[in-house]
């Protein structure tokens, strides 16, 4: 069995602003509430390799891993995967962005499988990701919509 999640949010902001903010990996600690640090390891073209460190979990454990992310702004999509997989056998993430009703729909699709020794199984991780993705997407939506209002006022 493998895990699969799909979540989306409609953000009342133009594509380019949503793209720019959500793909500024170096500033993810200001965008997401769960990340303590982002360290860029390498960039080449539209690909960034980075170490992501979470804030401590409910047991005080700090999780950290290296991911690779390749954006395709013309195709309005991003492919990412964990290079250091930690408790995952694999973790692949696919982001899409689509114009919708004057805003931008951002969708996250995550496919993964947990290692046998992981602290949770695929079903438990699916539940965690589904719960957390909704929370983080709501926070991101609010931050980007505030930025869009600020840009509109500045004009």
pTM of the model: 0.94
Hey, where are the domains in the chain? 3-26+67-154
Q: To which CATH superfamily is domain 3-26+67-154 assigned? A: START domain (3.30.530.20)
pLDDT confidence of residue 78: 98
Q: How far apart are CA 11 and CA 100, in angstroms?
A: 9
For the record, the structure tokens of 61 come out as: 């454990």
pLDDT confidence of residue 27: 97
H-helix or E-strand spanning residue 23: none
The gap from C-alpha 126 to its chain's centroid, in whole angstroms, comes to: 15
Chunked mean pLDDT (size 10), the chain, 155 residues:
94 97 97 97 97 92 95 98 95 98 96 95 96 97 96 82
């Amino acid at each position: 069995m493998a895990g699969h999640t799909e979540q989306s949010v409609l953000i009342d902001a133009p594509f380019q602003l949503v793209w720019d903010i959500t793909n500024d990996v170096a500033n993810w600690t200001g965008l997401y509430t769960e990340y303590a640090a982002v360290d860029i390891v390498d960039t080449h073209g539209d690909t960034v390799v980075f170490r992501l460190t979470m804030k401590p979990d409910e047991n005080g454990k700090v999780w950290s891993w290296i991911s690779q992310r390749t954006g395709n702004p013309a195709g309005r999509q991003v492919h990412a995967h964990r290079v250091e997989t930690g408790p995952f056998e694999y973790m692949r993430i696919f982001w899409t962005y689509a114009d919708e009703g004057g805003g931008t729909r951002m969708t996250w699709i995550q496919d993964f499988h947990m290692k046998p020794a992981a602290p949770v199984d695929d079903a438990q991780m699916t539940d965690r990701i589904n719960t957390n993705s909704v929370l983080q997407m709501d926070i991101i939506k609010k931050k980007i919509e505030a930025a869009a209002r600020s840009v509109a006022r500045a004009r």
